[in-house]
Amino acid sequence: MSQLPAHPLAQGDPLNHYVKKILTSRVYDVAVETPLHAARQLSARLGNNVLLKREDLQPVYSFKIRGAYNKLAQLSPEELARGVVTASAGNHAQGLALAAKTLGVSATIVMPKTTPEIKVEGVRSRGGKVVLHGDSFPEA
């Protein structure tokens, strides 16, 4: 893993250990450090400083890659060798597919037959094997 440059929040702050742990997490093998953008109008309306974390800039356009990758990174080699399976019709499916591909793990994603083709292709293009089953998410 490559060394990250010092982050301004991690220097001299009481939360140094916590911030350092976040910034050196294995999730950055696949995720990117996304910016915070000020929501000026919302901040003014609420009388507070509101920041938006731009997770839409991740490779799968959502924060779901973080949880999927962190879970896979905690599995034993034996568990990883068996591959992973999930039921999802959206961002988690794409996040798990990319996380598994990055780690060289087989990922099977069960999706309802009614899943939009763009979501199905999003999973396939990230290395996931798609199984279409059922007419609704509970059936998948």
pLDDT tens-place values along the chain, 140 residues long:
455 556 555 556 667 777 787 777 889 889 998 999 999 999 999 999 999 999 999 999 999 999 999 999 999 999 999 999 999 988 999 999 999 999 999 999 999 999 999 999 999 999 999 999 999 888 88
User: In the block, which residue shows the tokens 């010092």?
Assistant: 6
Separation between Cα atoms, residue 74 and residue 27, nearest integer Å: 11
All CATH 3.40.50.1100 domain ranges of the chain, comma separated, are 64-132
Q: Is the pTM of this model over 0.85?
A: no
In the three-class reduction of DSSP (H, G, I as helix; E, B as strand; rest coil), residue 84 is classed as strand
Residue-level pLDDT at 64: 95
Residue-level pLDDT at 1: 47
Separation between Cα atoms, residue 69 and residue 80, nearest integer Å: 12
Helices and strands counted in the chain (H then E) = 6, 5
The DSSP symbol for 39 reads -
Q: What CATH architecture is 64-132? A: 3-Layer(aba) Sandwich (3.40)
Residue-level pLDDT at 8: 55
Q: Which residues contact 110 (CB under 8 A, 6 or more apart)?
A: 85, 86, 87, 88, 131, 132, 133, 140
Phi, psi values for residue 130, rounded to 5°: -100, 130
